[in-house]
């Protein structure tokens, strides 16, 4: 067995808490332990990444070589099972060779072995620069579109909606924290590794949503109707997903997204084992843009009863109605909302703010503006909490940088503009 050393240890793009999920960690250049690697999983990953089997003893091991020019410089002997005494030795040597290989796919194989992950791949047909390089802008477009698409998939695991705005953003962003990302050679390809233990619902939802979006676009182009986009919401299609697809396809000759399931975890229920990549072209952009606008305007307002702490108060004068910004504690999946209150309700909110109590208010969360505004507010009242919780809330409010706005208002420091209370 031969390999081509590079002299540089293989490392992950970002640290990953694999050990918290009970998986063998692969960080600081260490390869996965051979005892934790299933030969069948390694074989499946080699095949997925274009490695070719070129002989070997039938029923005992196979000799695998990478795609491209490195085929003659690297080969791996991979046992078909652990039934033979030298299986662990062969696996150890194969893993070491992968860690020292200059083949780009070797890195991705090691990531998937260290942390069983579903792989989401994006490809864009864009002109290559000198030496196969890409401009900074082209690569940033790919990464930005990919992240927006993952975020749309994470949002769809929380709820089904045509437009999310600020709703569920915090939980969706947290769902992406453990996702690993591979390099984007030439700004044309990018791979995300979504750990099965924490992210499989995201990968499954995005898989279904992409196919539903493709079918809806085909229906729109064939019939002129947008009804398919309405039903596609149940599969996870949304304003956020269609906007991400527009960002991915814009400026290219075409783009594709593929989801490959982690061999160690098997194929999730309701998904195809060998699904074809979902492709989109510039000709799909009008339908995607129309759908994004449709979702944005069609999502209804939501009746809510919100509990939150007051972090900003403004009104044009010492009396009359004013605007309050609440940090949401319960009642809605948004971090902050802005509420316009009459004079009495504004006074109640001010008193609650001064003594460190949250308030509860009934109203409608408006989709216009991203579900950041509460309209029709009524029944505002302080919420009683125990002394320890009250002290904690009061300290948090006092430390908030925006608390200065309250004191500026009481001293007549600001005029009638209520400012932008968005995130």
Distance, in Å, from the CA atom of 194 to the CA atom of 178, rounded to the nearest integer, reads 7
What is the per-residue pLDDT across 340-369, written as a single tens digit (0 to 9) for each?
999 899 999 888 888 888 899 999 999 888
Distances, alpha carbon 365 to alpha carbons 241, 254, 302, 368, 372, in Å:
22, 38, 5, 9, 7
Average pLDDT, the chain: 81
Q: Sketch the domain layout of the chain as residue ranges.
A: 18-114, 119-298, 302-410
Which of 11, 25, 10 has the alpha carbon at shortest distance from 195? 25
Tell me the mean pLDDT in the region 134-159.
92
What is the per-residue pLDDT across 31-75, written as a single tens digit (0 to 9) for each?
677 778 888 888 888 888 888 888 777 777 888 888 876 556 678
Which two structure tokens, joined as six digits, stand for 197?
A: 């233990």
Tell me the mean pLDDT in the region 11-30.
39
DSSP symbols for 105-166: HHHHHHHHHHS-EEEEEEEE-----GGG---HHHHHHHHHHHHHHHHHHHHHHH---S--TT
Distance, in Å, from the CA atom of 306 to the CA atom of 325, rounded to the nearest integer, reads 12
Distance, in Å, from the CA atom of 356 to the CA atom of 350, rounded to the nearest integer, reads 10
CA pseudo-torsion sign 144, 149, 151, 152: positive
What is the per-residue pLDDT across 147-162, written as a single tens digit (0 to 9) for each?
999 999 999 999 999 9
**Given pLDDT bands bounded at 50, 70 and 90, which one contains residue 391?**
low
Tell me the mean pLDDT in the region 373-396.
76
The lowest-confidence range among 32-36, 164-168, 175-179 is 32-36
**Given pLDDT bands bounded at 50, 70 and 90, which one contains residue 390?**
low
Tell me the mean pLDDT in the region 160-167.
93
What is the per-residue pLDDT across 231-261, written as a single tens digit (0 to 9) for each?
999 999 999 999 999 999 999 999 999 999 9
pLDDT at 405 over 80: no
**Given pLDDT bands bounded at 50, 70 and 90, which one contains residue 134?**
confident
Which of 42, 52, 161, 41 has the alpha carbon at shortest distance from 96? 42
What is the per-residue pLDDT across 189-202, written as a single tens digit (0 to 9) for each?
899 999 999 999 99
Per-residue confidence (pLDDT) for residue 115, from 0 to 100: 86
Distance, in Å, from the CA atom of 48 to the CA atom of 261, rounded to the nearest integer, reads 10
Tell me the mean pLDDT in the region 325-351.
90
Which of 62, 59, 60, 38 has the alpha carbon at shortest distance from 51? 62
377: helix, coil or strand? strand
Distances, alpha carbon 330 to alpha carbons 306, 345, 359, 403, in Å:
6, 19, 11, 21
CATH 3.40.50 holds for 302-410:
no
Tell me the mean pLDDT in the region 386-400.
60
What is the per-residue pLDDT across 75-120, written as a single tens digit (0 to 9) for each?
888 888 887 787 888 888 888 888 887 777 888 888 888 888 999 9
Which two structure tokens, joined as six digits, stand for 198?
A: 């924490």
Burial of 402 (0-12, 13-18, 19+ CB in 10 A): middle
pLDDT at 406 over 60: no
What is the per-residue pLDDT across 408-417, written as a single tens digit (0 to 9) for each?
443 333 333 4
Percent of the chain with pLDDT over 70: 80
Which of the pair, 329 or 419, is modelled with greater confidence? 329
Distance, in Å, from the CA atom of 89 to the CA atom of 393, rounded to the nearest integer, reads 59
């Amino acid at each position: 067995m031969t390999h081509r050393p590079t002299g540089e240890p293989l490392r992950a793009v970002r640290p990953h808490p694999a050990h918290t999920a009970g998986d063998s960690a692969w960080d600081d250049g260490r390869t996965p332990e051979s005892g934790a690697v299933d030969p069948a999983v390694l074989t499946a990953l080699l095949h997925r990444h274009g490695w070719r089997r070129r002989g070997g003893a039938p029923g005992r091991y196979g000799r695998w070589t990478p795609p491209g020019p490195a085929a003659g410089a690297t080969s791996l002997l991979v046992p078909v099972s652990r039934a033979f005494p030298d299986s662990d030795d062969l696996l150890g040597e194969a893993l070491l060779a992968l860690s020292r290989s200059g083949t780009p796919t070797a890195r991705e194989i090691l990531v998937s072995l260290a942390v069983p992950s579903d792989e989401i791949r994006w490809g864009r047909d864009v002109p290559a620069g000198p030496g196969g390089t890409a401009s900074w802008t082209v690569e940033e477009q790919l990464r930005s579109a990919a992240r927006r698409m993952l975020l749309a998939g994470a949002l769809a695991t929380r709820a089904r909606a045509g437009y999310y705005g600020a709703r569920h953003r915090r939980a969706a962003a947290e769902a992406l924290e453990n996702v690993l990302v591979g390099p984007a050679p030439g700004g044309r390809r990018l791979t995300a590794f979504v750990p099965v233990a924490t992210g499989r619902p995201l990968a499954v939802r995005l898989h279904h949503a992409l196919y539903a979006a493709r079918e809806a676009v085909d229906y729109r182009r064939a019939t002129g109707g947008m009804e398919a986009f309405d039903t596609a919401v149940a599969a996870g299609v949304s304003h956020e997903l269609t906007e991400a697809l527009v960002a991915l396809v814009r400026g290219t000759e075409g783009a594709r997204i593929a989801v490959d399931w982690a061999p160690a975890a098997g194929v999730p229920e309701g998904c195809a084992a060998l699904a074809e990549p979902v492709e989109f072209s510039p000709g799909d952009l009008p339908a995607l843009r129309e759908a994004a606008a449709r979702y944005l305007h069609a999502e209804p307002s939501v009746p809510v009863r919100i509990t939150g702490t007051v972090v900003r108060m403004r009104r044009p004068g010492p009396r009359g109605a004013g605007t309050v910004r609440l940090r949401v504690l319960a009642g809605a999946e948004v971090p902050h909302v802005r509420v316009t209150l009459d004079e009495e309700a504004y006074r109640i909110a001010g008193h609650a703010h001064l003594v460190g109590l949250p308030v509860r208010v009934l109203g409608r969360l408006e989709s216009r503006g991203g579900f950041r505004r509460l309209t029709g507010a009524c029944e505002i009242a302080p919420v009683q909490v125990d002394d320890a919780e009250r002290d904690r809330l009061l300290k948090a409010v006092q430390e908030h940088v925006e608390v200065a706005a309250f004191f500026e208002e009481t001293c007549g420091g600001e005029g009638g503009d209520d400012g932008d209370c968005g995130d």
